[in-house]
Amino acid sequence: MNLKTKPAVPAGGMMNKVFIVLLVLVLGFSMIYGKTETEKDPYLWLEKVEAKKSLDWVKKINAETTSVLEKVPGFVELNKKLLDIYDSKARIPYATKIGKYFYNFWRDAVHQRGIYRRTTIDEYKKENPKWEIVLDVDALAKKEKKNWVYKGMDRLYPDYNLCLVKLSIGGADAAVVREFDISKKEFVKNGFYLPEAKSQISWIDKDTIFVGTDFGKGSLTKSGYPGIVKIWERGTSLKEAKTIYKAGEKSIWAYGGRSFSDDGNIDFILEGLTFYTSKKFIIKKGKLIELKLPLDSNFIGIFKKQIIIKLKSDYKSNGKVFKLGSVLIGSLKGLIENKINFKVLIEPSDRMSIGSVQTTKNYILVTILDNVVNKLLKYSYNSKGNWEKEEIIIKSNGTLSVFNTNEKSDDFFVNFTNFLTPSGLYMVSGKTGKKELLKSAPKWFDAVPYEVNQNIAVSKDGTKIPYFIIKNKKMKLDGNNPTLLYGYGGFLISMKPRYSATVGNAWLNKGGVYVLANIRGGGEFGPKWHQAALKKNRLKAYEDFIAIAEDLIKRKITSAKKLGIQGGSNGGLLVGATFVLRPDLFNAVVCQVPLLDMKRYTKLLAGASWAAEYGDPDKADMWDYIKKYSPYHNVKKGVKYPEVFFTTSTRDDRVHPAHARKMVAKMKDQKHKVYYYENIEGGHGGAANNKQRAYMSALGYAYLYKKLMGK
């Protein structure tokens, strides 16, 4: 069984849901600098998110941008095409197995806010399954006159009827929590309820929950997360909930949960010390027992009363040294008694890293990334009590995602995709390896004219940096090809091959070349690859990105006039820093929901939780380094920059919209031409529904057409 924790929140790109609590930290806190800082920064007023002055400014700049980009030839047609894709009923309805049902959240033209629905496995296998609607968010929003956006639910084991539903206003990470009864399809009268906050919740039993929320003064950490865990009993007020744990003053978050299993339930507490480190406790007979594990290890789950962990640094135990990135397994009882003897399940190599680790009734499933291509391994005990591995082959040269694993079955789902192959959803037998194709996504563009290559660029320090390039087979090496380079490079997140109907239709079919960077800071080659660009090594990520850009030009794939870059969140910081460092290298920059003011980032929303990634700018030696690349502090009057397109969301309570607002205001005052669009809702994802998503995407590509294709 896997420990039952909170869903991961992406910081850009697709997010694996395994390392959940450690990656859910990317959320909100705000504090005010003193008078001296205010005097230095004339744009601080834009940090007041919903002040009339700020919103009036936003609407004015939005109008300036849309009046230009909506007139770019092809914009209207592209907007319609993308909306048709996003609303298409031919999409794969990915479903999560819970109890005897498969549940799916679905948005389309009719259900713009979405419906939560369920069906059986026999029905799911059909081309057009019959779905039973459990919760209609559109109908709820209309009835209650609220701008509800569905954010997930926590269900009570073992019948899964009682649920704690999270509903956000306008797409923010902060959400209202309401108890819902699936069997009755209605909210529970006088049930558990929490007002809007970034709450942490988990069932204990039908009348009791673990809860972390905004209890009032001193209950939230400086990162805006719950720092106190309480047990709350049905029928009592939240004020009566009993405190069982309080995080340290400098910690990021605290979480209490119960992992349900036929082998016995386990209650646990996790305290996030930093973004990458946490204390781990088991609650036994009302007492906390701290597990003596490396603080930076990921606590993956329990399998047949054994604990599985993944290392982010070398670990010495019982005279053995275990390599960072390795997956270890050992007795939970031994761990509790401080007598554990870990064994290595799998360890990485220089160009191979370990991705997800999940368990079925009898097997452990491990996805590995071998030179940025996924493979799936199955581990089982042999007759001698040793682990044996076997590769389960789905398809090659792509990305595999394993889900719907549980302790009652050895069957599971695998999704496969690559740049030119739409997603295929398979049901796989762990016992035999037999696979059944359940669903296939549509082919939204003709892939025949295109090919995928993996090239290597050499960074400033000599490190070899891989990147994927998707291009027409007949492309001429004349330096005249419009090229879009996408990157992220942070938080151990890997950029992997995946099919994008948007990229295919909006870019490849228009004659563009698409490039995906695998720079340091990501997780493509494990913790070492990530740690190589942490804190005072952050510039390595930007040097890698620049090296890829230079390599594209050197190979005559493109030229500076035809090269654009794109990134969001941490990737927004990447492209922001890169265009400021090398303005000569690009002619277009799409900078989405970015961090840009790296002096104040720790004081804006979730920023305090990211100090483990970027470093603390309030420390003089760290700021001396950060200020070398902080985009907001390095943009200068009189320098010729690309005409950057910045986007953000008013309702983003993860990365503060002021990062983009202030950068735009400063650049405009410096007489630089920029484009800007701020969606009034949508949260960190930028859009609250498919219509907004299609419109914002169309704006971005219209900008790229204008800058790189001369439209």
Assign 686 a pLDDT band (cuts: 50, 70, 90). low
Strand order of the sheet with strand 675-679? 450-458, 464-472, 513-517, 483-486, 563-568, 588-592, 645-649, 675-679
Q: What is the pLDDT of residue 19?
A: 32
pLDDT at 164 (0 to 100)? 98
How far does CA 512 lie from the centroid of its chain? 27
605: DSSP letter: G
Report the pLDDT value the prediction gives residue 682, as an integer from 0 to 100: 58
For 537-563, the pLDDT digits (tens) are 999 999 999 999 999 999 999 999 999
Fill in the DSSP letter of residue 36.
H
Cα 40 to chain centroid, rounded? 34
What is residue 657's predicted lDDT score, i.e. its pLDDT?
A: 95
Q: What percent of the chain has pLDDT over 90?
A: 87
pLDDT value, residue 340: 87
pLDDT (mean) for 623-629: 98
Return the pLDDT at 685: 67
Cβ proximity of 356 and 375 under 8 Å: no
Of the candidates 353, 494, 684, 697, the residue annotated as catalytic is 684
Q: What is the pLDDT of residue 172?
A: 86
Q: What is the pLDDT of residue 339?
A: 87
Amino acid 611 reads A
Q: What is the mean pLDDT of residues 692-710?
A: 97
> Does residue 700 sit in helix, strand or coil?
helix
Collect all residues with Cβ–Cβ distance below 8 Å to 451 and sequence separation of at least 6.
470, 471, 472, 473
Per-residue model confidence (pLDDT) at position 318: 87
Please check the confidence at residue 6 and state whether its pLDDT lies above 70: no
pLDDT at 706: 98
- Active-site residue, from 54, 423, 569, 630: 569
Model confidence pLDDT, tens digit, residues 583-601:
999 999 999 999 999 999 9
CA distance 133 to 118: 7
Domain boundaries defined on the chain: 50-83+445-708, 90-184, 198-290, 300-342, 348-441
Torsion of CA 667, 668, 673, 674, to 10 degrees: 70
Confidence class for position 681, pLDDT limits 50, 70, 90: low
Mean pLDDT of 33-39: 42
Digit-coded pLDDT (tens) for 439-471: 999 999 999 999 999 999 999 999 999 999 999
CA angle 376, 379, 384 (to 5 degrees): 155
On the CB side of 43, CA atoms within 13 Å amount to 18
Q: Any catalytic annotation for residue 684?
A: yes
Helix %, strand %, coil % for the chain, to 5?
25, 35, 40
Which residue in the block uniquely carries the two structure tokens 């087979």?
473
Closest CA relative to residue 514, chosen from 482, 489, 480:
482
Its sign, for the CA torsion 143, 148, 150, 156, is negative
Q: In what order do the strands lie in the sheet with 352-359?
A: 352-359, 364-370, 374-381, 387-392
Q: How many residues are there in the chain?
A: 711
Tell whether the model's pLDDT for residue 429 goes beyond 70. yes
- Average pLDDT for 32-44: 61
The yes-or-no verdict on residue 635 having pLDDT over 80 is yes
Q: What is the pLDDT at residue 577?
A: 98
Q: What is the pLDDT of residue 23?
A: 33
- Give the up-direction half-sphere exposure of residue 1: CA atoms within 13 A in the CB hemisphere: 17
CATH architecture of the domain formed by 50-83+445-708: 3-Layer(aba) Sandwich (3.40)
Q: What CA–CA distance (Å, rounded) separates 660 from 675?
A: 11
Better-predicted residue by pLDDT, 19 or 221: 221
Q: Is the peptide bond before 158 cis (omega within 30 degrees of 0)?
A: yes
Q: What is the pTM of this model?
A: 0.91
Q: Determine which helix (DSSP H) or strand (DSSP E) holds 115, and give its type and residue range.
A: strand 115-119
- pLDDT value of residue 37: 46
Chain segment 368-422, per-residue pLDDT in tens: 999 999 999 999 988 777 889 999 999 989 999 999 999 999 999 999 999 999 9
pLDDT digits (tens, 9 = 90+) for 142-191: 999 999 999 999 999 999 999 999 999 988 889 999 999 999 999 999 99
Q: Please say if 656 is a catalytic residue.
A: no
- Comparing 2-16, 303-317, 427-441, 562-576, which segment has the lowest mean pLDDT? 2-16
Least confident of 32-36, 240-244, 480-484: 32-36
pLDDT digit string, tens, across residues 509-533: 999 999 999 999 999 999 999 999 9
Determine the pLDDT at residue 338.
Answer: 86
pLDDT, residue 39, reads 52
Across the chain, mean pLDDT equals 92
